[in-house]
Structure 1
C-alpha cells in the first residue's frame, strides 16, 4: 500500500470512530435528561456498578488498539461537545463504544475543599479506565439511588 493510501485509510477510520462517538454522545445527552442513570447505563451496555469496585493500584494500561482508538475518539468529540465534557459523559460514551469488553460504570464521591464531589469512571476486568486519573481519590458508591415513584 502506498503511504498516501495508508493515511487516507487511517483518516477514514478516525472519521468513522468520531461519527460513532457523536451519535452515542447524542444518545447519552438525551438519556441524561430523560432516564434514571441506572437505566441509561444498562441500556448503553455499561451497567452501573452496585457493589464496591475492586480498586487496583494501577489504571488500565492494556487496552487493545481498537479500544484505545475509540477512547481517543470519545475524548476528541467530547472536548468540543456543546453540553460539556464531564467524566460521566466520557464514561458512558466510552463504555458504550467498548461494550465488547463488558465495562461497568463506577460512580464515586469525595469531599474536596469542603464540598462533596462526584466522579465517574469505567471498570473493565477489575481495572480502572479513567482518562482523568482521579478515581483513586473517590470512594465508590455501592448502592445506586432508587427511584421512589411507585
Structure 2
C-alpha cells in the first residue's frame, strides 16, 4: 500500500498502473462490462486480504486504492482499471473505479457509470 500511495502522490495514474502491472483504460468509450468476472478460487485470499488492508489504510478506503491493490495482487490475470462517472437523481456528480478481467467486471455497480472515455464526447 505504501508503494501505491507514494505513486498516486508522485505520478499520474497510467504510470502508477504500469508500475503495479495493472492495465489502465481511461480512453475507451466502451461501456462498462455487465457480466461478472469469475476468478480462480486461488485468488480468494488475495482479494479478501487486499480488502482488509485497504479498509484499515489511514489515507482512506477508496475504490481506486482497492482496485490498484487487488489489480497488483492479481496482475497475472491481466486486470484492467476502468473509471466512470455519473450524476445521481439529485444532480450530484460521482466517480468510481473498477477492475475488469477479460471484459468482465468484479464490480456489479460498474454499469451504473459512464466510462470516462465516453463521458467527454
Output the TM-score relative to the length of structure 1: 0.71
RMSD: 1.6
Matched, 1:43 2:34: no
For residues 17-56 of structure 1, the aligned pairs below 5 Å read: 25-49=1-25, 50-53=27-30, 55-56=32-33
Listed one character per residue, the Cα deviations across residues 6-32 of structure 1 (whole Å, up to 9, x for unaligned) are xxxxxxxxxxxxxxxxxxx11111111
1:65 to 41, 57, 72: 41
Deviation by residue 1:60-88 (Cα, 9 ceiling, x = unmatched): 2x211221221111001111111111000
- May I ask how many residue pairs the two structures share in their alignment? 116
Larger helix share, 1 or 2 = 1
Q: Does structure 1 conserve the Cα–Cα contact (< 8 Å) formed by 2:32 and 2:115?
A: no
**1:52 CA drift (Å):** 3.4
1:1-150 equivalences in 2 (<5 Å): 25-49=1-25, 50-53=27-30, 55-60=32-37, 62-112=38-88, 113-130=90-107, 133-142=108-117
Which 5+ residue runs of structure 1 have no aligned equivalent? 1-24, 144-150
Q: In structure 2, how many angstroms separate the alpha carbons of the residues matched to 1:129 and 1:71?
A: 11
Q: Would you say the 8 A contact 2:32–2:110 is kept in 1? A: no
Larger radius of gyration: 1
- SS of residue matched to 2:82: strand
Separation in 2, partners of 1:71, 1:52: 28
Q: Secondary structure at the match of 1:48?
A: strand
In 2, Cα distance between equivalents of 1:75 and 1:46: 17
Q: For structure 2, which runs of at least 5 residues remain unmatched after alignment?
A: none
Does the Cα contact within 8 Å between 1:54 and 1:126 map onto a contact in 2? no
Alpha-carbon deviation of 1:124? 0.4
**Structure 1 residue ranges (4+ consecutive) displaced by more than 4 angstroms after TM superposition:** none
